Amino acid sequence: MTAEPENRRTGESGNIGPSRPSRPLRPVEDLYRASFFRFRSKPRHSPAWRAPIVCGAIRDVLQPTSVVDAGCGNADLVAEFHRMGLEALGIEGSRYCLPYVPPEATERVYIHDLRLPLPRSAFRVPRSLALSFEVAEHIEPEYATQFVTNLCALSDRVLLSAAPPGQRGHGHVNCRLCSYWVALFFDKGFHREPTIEQELKARWNPWRRKPGIKAYYDNLLYFTRRAPS
């Protein structure tokens, strides 16, 4: 499903960037081409094995009734939540993912660049939980505020991972200390809940060093909307 035309610009991490982008976006497909998703769909390299572990812990600890995965990649988590009986949607910036999405999720993935405002027509109903794993570090600093704004519009509860400085990876342009993201979410009326993070990490602990879960375990952040004062 296509929400809006999407573009992408590759930037460099540094101090918190300007609120207004200084250069045009570069299409997401320039970085995440068919070869990227095809590689991840092969049994030897597929991250699908982790889906029951990750989704099971989220279901048990957070008990969502509906989930949206922002930056869903091959949509393995979307498909797993659907198998669990939850309403699940995915948002991905590259159309090249679509041939590699599991059958359960083929009609549940919207194509949209998370650095651009979300179209209200497609996402006007907030979900019980918004996820965004291994996405934040791919968002250039000047688009980080819009990225966080999008997540906060999707749900009153946001679970994400965010790579720290020095963590290498494909397309990492904004690796930050967690305080950077805490400040951005605080500006949107959200606060961090470390206790929930620890509960989830306890469930994932047996796989904490295994590629596919390690980044989730090491870099987990959970935010909820603050009650009006």
Could you read off the pLDDT of 210-229 as tens digits, one per residue? 999 999 999 999 999 998 76
For position 13, what pLDDT does the model report? Answer: 36
Instruction: Give the three-state DSSP class for 53.
Output: helix
Tens-place pLDDT, residues 126-154? 899 999 999 999 999 999 999 999 999 99
* CA pair distance 51, 68, nearest whole angstrom: 15
pLDDT for the residue 42: 85
According to the model, what pLDDT value does residue 46 have? 85
Q: What is the DSSP string of 30-50?
A: GTS-HHHHHHHHSTTT-GGGG
Residue whose C-alpha is closest to residue 151's, from 164, 161, 142: 161
Q: Which domains are seen in the chain, by residue range?
A: 28-225 (3.40.50.150)
Which DSSP string corresponds to 175-196? ---HHHHHHHHHHTTEEE-HHH
- Percentages (nearest 5) of helix, strand, coil residues in the chain: 40, 15, 45
Quote the pLDDT of residue 17: 43
Compute the C-alpha angle 105/83/28, nearest 5°.
Answer: 30
Q: Give CA–CA dist 134/215, Å, rounded.
A: 7
Q: Measure the CA angle with vertex 67, ends 141 and 211; round to 5°.
A: 65
Neighbours of 146 (CB within 10 A): 18
Residues 152, 117: Cα–Cα separation, whole Å: 11
Contact 109/92 with Cβ under 8 angstroms? yes
Predicted TM-score (pTM) of the model is 0.88
**Amino acid residing at 174:** N
Low-confidence ranges of the chain (pLDDT < 50): 2-19
The predicted structure's pLDDT at residue 5? 30
Query: At which residue do the structure tokens 């081409």 appear?
Result: 33
